[in-house]
Amino acid sequence: MKKLILLFLVSVISLSAYAQTENLKKHIDQEAEKIEQQVIEWRRHFHENPELSNREFETAKYITAYLEELGLEIETEVAHTGVVAILKGGKPGPVVGLRADMDALPVKERTDVPFKSTITSEYRGEEVPVMHACGHDTHMAILMGTAKVLTDIKDDLAGTVKFIFQPAEEGAPQGEEGGAELMVKEGVLENPDVDAIFGLHISDALPTGMISYRPEGIMASVNSYSIEVEGKQAHGSAPWTGVDPIVTSAQIINNIQTIVSRNMELTNQAAVVTVGIIRGGVRNNIIPESVYMEGTIRALDEDMRQLIFKRLKTIVQNTAESNGAEATLTINEGYPITYNDPELTAQMESTLKEVAGPGKAVNMNAITGAEDFSFFQEEVPGLYFFLGGLPEGGTPAGHHTPDFYVDESGMKLGVRAMSNLVIDYMYSAGE
């Protein structure tokens, strides 16, 4: 009899919690509809006023001013320019982290929009144009909208929300620390301790109104590297009197391409090794003394990542030696694999499907882009997903390009998704 009574009480409590979450979700939908135009205006402000990594000073002030209006507990200058706000719900429960990145890129905008960026700034000692060419402007606006929606229902929240506006996702300037890694070092996931964290990225290739995700690795690890090749300068008419670092560099580049094609088990996961910068020589009839190169390494498997490091070292050293040159390889610290916790992904999958609608939330293949959201995921369970921004009939220009463009009507789904993930996680944790 006691067992039956207990089961009855559990059922009643579960039904009550379900009814409450359904009411909250209806409220979220209504508020997301009301605030959509404001979210678009925020996005346009950020787009028109972009700032580079670790230099998001005005962006941080703008975000802080609004979060103060909401009455949230705010900490500024986190990891240089980051902003963290805490919303305490009216009921006890877990702490949920929501993250948006803040920085723009040294790209000159070509899109024909009234809020087009004409901003310039300094990058690597040069004056450069600046553009939100990856959608971080939409991420900030979505998280501000989510903060408004959740603040309106704070008395019904069964836990705490930590809104994390993160600088320098694209990488800190040379000689500086920054981004998610520095935020973690400074304790952003502590006081209160975050139990789970969610993040999104708008996609100019995914149709508006859709969400894509996957468990485990969704984005690759990334490391930059540099190679300095030292030869012996000579007259271009007498190459035998010197050691040619340009020819040596060309052979190194060709040999590097065999790492993925001949050493990686590509039926397992993808990997990429790219040379993106090469500099050497000042005159057509002088064989220079040195050549400098930079590139990027990406992998979706940690063992493959380590094998790339090993093969790169071998190829650079032995190729240079075979030409009588010397070469120095430097592999820089990078981002880990963006790894969606399988249990958390399975738990929240129904939420993503519910907010997107039938057939609109789909499982995706992993991509070789990288995200420093991975540093948060190394510390606590995290789920990262993509939000559609491709207008109907549109053609993707590509992220990090002058023509990058997203459909602003997709941002309302971002607000609904982030808000619903908080509600469902909190109430499922309390069951």
Helices 136-152 + 411-429 axis angle, to 10: 50
In the numeric block, the tokens 């379900």 are attached to 18
335 is catalytic: yes
Closest CA to 112 of 372, 397, 356, 329: 397
- Could you say which of 31, 56, 408, 427 is catalytic? 408
Compute the radius of gyration of the chain from its Cα atoms.
Answer: 25
Task: Give, in order, the Cα–Cα distances in Å from 381 to each of 139, 189, 391.
Answer: 20, 11, 32
Dihedral in degrees, nearest 10, Cα atoms 412, 415, 420, 421: 130
- Could you say which of 225, 335, 339, 427 is catalytic? 335
Report residue 363: phi and psi, to 5°: -80, 135
Number of H helices, E strands in the chain: 9, 18
Closest CA to 32 of 424, 416, 430, 422: 416
In the numeric block, the tokens 């010197």 are attached to 242
SS3 content of the chain, % helix, strand, coil (to 5): 40, 30, 30
Label the pairing between strands 158-166 and 91-101: parallel
326 is catalytic: no
**What string of DSSP letters covers 356-403?**
H-TT-EEE---BS---TTHHHHTTS-EEEEEEEEEPTT-----TTSTT
d(CA 287, CA 35): 63
d(CA 259, CA 331): 16
398: left (phi over 0), alpha (psi -120 to 50) or beta: left
**Any idea which residues carry the catalytic annotation?**
335, 408
